[in-house]
Amino acid sequence: MLRGFPGPGTVSVVSGHVPLLNDPKRPPHVLVKALSEQYRGIFRLRLFWRQAIYITDPFLLQEVFAAERAGIIEKPVAQLMKVKGKTERNMFSERSGNYKWKLVRKAVAPAFSTANLKVFHHHITTVVDNLIACIKARGPSVPVDIANITQRESFDVIGRVGFDHDFGVSRRIDVSPAFGGEPDVFDVFKTMLGETGKRFNNPMRFLSRTGEASKGERASMRVLQMSRQLMEECRANKDLDERSIAAHLLQIVDPTNGKPLTLDRLEDEASVMFVAGSETTGYSIAWTLYLLAKHPEAMAKLEAELDEMGLLVTPARPRPRTFAFADISKLRYLDAILKESMRMRPVVTGGSLRVVARDLRLSNGLVLPRGITITGSNLSLLNNPTLWEHPERFMPERFEDPEVVYVERASPANGNAHVEAAHGGAYDGIADYRGSANKALRYTPFGNGMRNCVGQQLAKVNMPTALGMLVSNFKFELTPETAAMTMADLETVRGTLQFKDGLYMFCTPRDAPAAASSA
Ligand code: HEM
């Protein structure tokens, strides 16, 4: 069945296309983008004995997500960081067909409602205020690792908004090991994520017995312990806000035994919120600041917008009013900047990894056979020159048109005629979910379908607030070393699309004497 799928010729008889993915000159996310353009949205790779189909055509993806709703596409059970003796899963790693996934997703989704986030917005401004004070304390001449501090900010926001707990890691930007201090909970968490990212890139790494791998496993256990303690604290807290994520998790009753979720399950659910939510949000804010530093005209437009809203620090307004929840929907250009930044640098580059539960025929005639792994690629979908005008250019203005998130079908056919021609026969009795609409979603940084990002509303509130407040308070400038590097040199994928060695910038307070005179 897979013969009809286009793709590069075999490179190694044993490992298939693995050598292509290990080419240091072309990292996997760049390779996948190139292949997705070459094979126009669908292709096959073999990684040892496993075959994987990459789908980046928005119309084909639409069919896949329709099939997911019908239970024909499943999420593979992926526990990258296995902890000894631990069998429970969490919302992220659970199969969609499992009742516990539905139970938890349904219970937790309301915690991210606009009404709740409005009430919790003061937590975000407090965390960013702490961060601003910390950056100021370092002084303008010492570069700050923006990628580190924005993740600390997101970590603290999830702690406060989701679990009524202040980890305070955004008040400690100078005391972590990078500055010769003791590792805090965030550093342990990052050690775990670093190892998870490496296992994501190399599934055989779990066999590794290096000191680094063991350190990653120990960090994993500590993060689970921290999450367990957090949930125990929340359970004992009589004043726990009933709108928090923790309260929603604690209210769940398992219909199979009439009991609340076990602590084993709760600790996993709590930790996945930090895992899925802090690196993603933090790096998205960091990429946006990087792109703004590279595009002074966009930065100037944003400064003007913040000024007009009374938020920018200026000589005439050294202490502007507090950033309000209502500002988010009014800051249209900031919204466009964030969307464009997430288009160009989607932190979840790969996107949905799925398995096919029943043979599925696509509208191009190809059949995805039962058991095959399929994966999307956000990076390819969001930067494909046949789908986006000048995808390589940072143009926030494109998001002034809300319809830009969709692509229209050019003709009734789906543009994969070459694939159709390559496929000969008809397949009787095979599930057939053709996309019916004439337009499909092409903008999916938060995923698509029923397993899309449950926490996206929190990110959509946190990102503009943090970015708006940071830009209102500081002028950001890349260090000369960073400015001299290309984006390709700076970036790497370790689970998420991130900066290889941090993102160092000078942050000059707008109320500093020199900055104030030039503002
Ligand atoms: C810019 C920030 C974020 C980005 C880009 C992002 C992206 C994504 C994507 C692409 C998925 C789908 C993965 C798939 O299809 O398999 C996802 C799922 C998920 N995200 Fe996010 N996310 C962000 C922030 C957050 C936050 C703040 C939270 C919670 C505090 C969160 C919690 C989750 C969870 C629990 C899932 C799994 C949902 C399920 O499988 O039902 N994310 N995210």
pLDDT in tens, 256-295: 999 999 999 999 999 999 999 999 999 999 999 999 999 9
Mean per-residue pLDDT, 175-200: 79
> Which has more pLDDT, 3 or 390?
390
Closest CA to 171 of 328, 181, 161: 181
Q: Which residues line ligand 1 (CB under 6 A)?
A: 91-92, 105, 158, 272-273, 276-277, 280-281, 284, 347-348, 351-352, 445-447, 451-456, 458-459
- Closest Cα to atom 7 of ligand 1: 446
Most ligand 1 atoms within 8 A of CB, residue of 156, 456, 498 to mutate:
456
| pLDDT band, very low/low/confident/very high, at 478 (cuts 50, 70, 90) | very high
The pLDDT value given to residue 165 = 97
pLDDT digits (tens, 9 = 90+) for 409-454: 866 544 443 333 333 333 334 565 554 568 899 999 999 989 999 9
The pLDDT value given to residue 519 = 43
Mean per-residue pLDDT, 123-152: 94
Dist. CA 200–CA 216, nearest whole Å = 13
Lowest model confidence (mean pLDDT) among 55-59, 104-108, 205-209: 205-209
- Closest Cα to atom 36 of ligand 1: 453
Dist. CA 488–CA 344, nearest whole Å = 12
Size of the chain in residues: 519
Query: Is the sign of the CA dihedral 117, 122, 127, 131 positive or negative?
Result: positive
User: What residues contact 203, with CB distance under 8 A and at least 6 apart?
Assistant: none
394 vs 61, 140, 278, 290, 298, CA distance in Å?
A: 25, 27, 24, 11, 9
| pLDDT band, very low/low/confident/very high, at 177 (cuts 50, 70, 90) | low
pLDDT at 334 over 70: yes
> Which has more pLDDT, 195 or 251?
251
| pLDDT band, very low/low/confident/very high, at 206 (cuts 50, 70, 90) | low
The pLDDT value given to residue 515 = 52
Which pTM does this prediction carry? 0.93
The pLDDT value given to residue 27 = 93
- Closest Cα to atom 14 of ligand 1: 352
Dist. CA 303–CA 477, nearest whole Å = 15
Predicted ipTM of the assembly = 0.99
The distance of Cα 245 from the centroid of its chain, to the nearest Å, equals 19
Mean per-residue pLDDT, 85-104: 88
- Closest Cα to atom 37 of ligand 1: 92
Q: What is the mean pLDDT of the chain?
A: 89
User: Exposed e or buried b for every residue in 146-168, given b needs 16+ CB within 10 A?
Assistant: bbbbbbbbbbbbbbbbbbbbebb
507 belongs to an annotated ligand binding site: no
pLDDT at 470 over 60: yes
Dist. CA 318–CA 287, nearest whole Å = 27
Which parts of 174-234 are beta strand (E)? none
Q: How far is the CA of 270 from the centre of ligand 1 (A)?
A: 13
pLDDT at 214 over 90: no
The pLDDT value given to residue 429 = 46
pLDDT digits (tens, 9 = 90+) for 19-33: 998 898 999 999 999
Lowest model confidence (mean pLDDT) among 77-91, 325-339, 350-364, 487-501: 77-91
pLDDT at 49 over 50: yes
The pLDDT value given to residue 211 = 78
Q: How far is the CA of 365 from the centre of ligand 1 (A)?
A: 32
The pLDDT value given to residue 322 = 97
